[in-house]
Amino acid sequence: MAAKDNAEVLTVAGREVRVTNPDKPYFSAGVKLTKLEIVRYYLDVADGAVTGIRDRPVVLKRFVDGAEKQPFYQKRAPDNRPDWLRTVTLSFPSGRTAEEVVVDDPAGLAWIVNLGCIELHPHAVRAGDVDHPDELRVDLDPGPGVEWADVRRVALEVNALLGELGLRGWPKTSGSRGMHVNVRIEPRWSFTDVRRAALALSREIERRAPTIATSKWWKEERHGVFLDYNQNAKDRTTCSAYSVRPLPDARVSAPLDWSEVADCDPAAFTVATMPARFAARGDLQAGMDAAAGSLDQLLDLAARDEASGLPDAPWPPHYQKMDGEAPRVAPSRAKKPGAGAGKRAPRVRMPLLTVANSPDKEAALAGLERWKQRHAEAAGHLAVDDVLVDAMRGRSSTWTRIRVNLRNVPEAIRPPQETPDPDDDPTREWREATRKATKEKEDPPP
């Protein structure tokens, strides 16, 4: 290892990787960790971390100012990448394409971490076949106030169902509040079919554990642990095994044995503790590639759901409207019964208010507290899950939207919709320009 131009030059697997600004603080709110320490963490667990991303296109989620600041997403590989780093062309639902980085070894891993990639976000495909996923991803996302014990219970239900279907699930903590169960599959199905299978799995788990599990897309309809089937749509990524998450304790996404799930504590797996665990246990997901299974039984379950009258569930908002998809509109915005031609089926309308939009989550949360102070009587009626904190994602930026559901607030004291405070949606200008361009295309000036 040599120092050069305020950089550390590491020799990794026979290649030189330059770590710029190695002493730059990457974690400071809780544990104190520099960029170089994060790089060294990843090299300590490289055999496992590389297995999770090898031969896969990777979205670069770059925390260039450290874990406490807002990241940005970079799909296109940087022009100044080393000549030994591969790329592959991906197409997106928008019709655009991009050359994305493919990491094959610890040197490539260290290189992307130097860019600020605290988290690793691989696609569910291999570079040699970018149209057929080889992984079904079950993302267990607990709602506000949901206990970790319920997440573990839902994960065990998922494991039982997968076993019945001849599939093997590989569990890991998400590194935040949830859990992931990844399933290696034969790369024979399209993204649409894999998502369809994931939706069928989510609905079946909801039937088996209705009090703690939900497949409902709209947050205002959810309860308990949401099984996010849309993580299997094309162009979606989740953090892979051993990823560091931007939490004060530098928690990581930890592979587990199923025998550990019932009693595990996600806070036990951090940058400080994972290297020793990895040295002692090895990579608990090392056998995943040898356990590829078939989606046939899950797709049979999907067909039975469809035959019973269940429509497709909503897709993410920026995807093209799909055949058979239910109305892509939140219940709180659905047309009321009797609204005229083209009316939708009656749905319960949730009284939602947007109280804050900001790229800075803490600023958005401060705005929520100001709203509660202004409307103290109404705020006193809110349940834990009446506050919806949404992590919104645009083309390359993220922001936090906070809404409150007034369903438990008596109508006489429900506040009106006000201008959110703060009201900084970084995609607003782009969305308005898109709407204008679409209108002009449909109705060109004379």
Angle between the 191-208 and 148-164 helix axes, to the nearest 10 degrees?
120
Task: Look up the domain containing 117 and give its range.
Answer: 2-129+272-277
- Which residues pair with residue 34 across a beta bridge? 25
Report the C-alpha gap between 273 and 250 in whole angstroms.
Answer: 10
pLDDT of 344? 46
In the three-class reduction of DSSP (H, G, I as helix; E, B as strand; rest coil), residue 108 is classed as helix
342 by Cβ neighbours in 10 Å (0-12 / 13-18 / 19+) ranks as exposed
Residue 297 lies in a domain: no
Mean pLDDT computed over every residue of the chain: 89
Residue 32 lies in a domain: yes
Residues 216, 226 contacting (CB under 8 angstroms):
yes
Name residue, tokens 């050069």: 4
Q: DSSP for 8-65, please give it.
A: EEEEETTEEEEEESTT-EEE-SSS-EEHHHHHHHHHHTHHHHHHHHTTSEEEEEE-TT
What's the Rg (C-alpha) of the chain?
23
pLDDT of 359? 84
Residue 182 lies in a domain: no
Structural tokens at position 347:
């749905």
**This prediction's pTM:** 0.80
pLDDT value at 338 more than 60: no
Residue 400 lies in a domain: yes
Q: Which of 245, 277, 309 is where one domain is finished?
A: 277
Q: H or E stretch including 403?
A: strand 398-405
- E strands along 31-187, which residues? 33-34, 57-62, 72-74, 86-91, 97-102, 121-122, 135-142, 169-173, 179-184
Residue 408 lies in a domain: yes
Residue 165 lies in a domain: no
* Amino acid at site 330: A
Q: DSSP for 291-325, please give it.
A: G-B--HHHHHHHHHHHHTTPPBPPPPTTSPPPTTB
pLDDT of 284? 97
Instruction: Encode pLDDT of 36-58 as tens digits.
Output: 999 999 999 999 999 999 999 99
Q: H or E stretch including 26?
A: strand 25-27
Nearest-10 Cα torsion for 320, 324, 329, 335: 130
Of residues 402 and 323, the one with the higher pLDDT is: 402
Q: Which of 277, 307, 336 is where one domain is finished?
A: 277
In the three-class reduction of DSSP (H, G, I as helix; E, B as strand; rest coil), residue 290 is classed as helix
Residue 190 lies in a domain: no
pLDDT of 333? 65
Q: How far apart are the first and last CA of the chain?
A: 68
Most trustworthy range by pLDDT among 2-6, 207-211, 319-323: 207-211
pLDDT of 145? 86
Average pLDDT over residues 398-413: 88
Query: Which residues have C-beta within 8 Å of that of residue 359, sequence separation ≥ 6?
Result: 70, 397, 398, 399, 400, 424, 426
Instruction: Encode pLDDT of 277-295 as tens digits.
Output: 999 999 999 999 999 999 9
Give percent of the chain with pLDDT exceeding 70.
88
Q: Which of 255, 277, 299 is where one domain is finished?
A: 277
Question: Residue 81: which CATH number?
Answer: 3.90.920.10
The domain tally of the chain equals: 2
**Which ranges of 77-190 does DSSP label H, i.e. alpha helix?**
106-114, 148-164
pLDDT of 156? 98
Residue 12 lies in a domain: yes
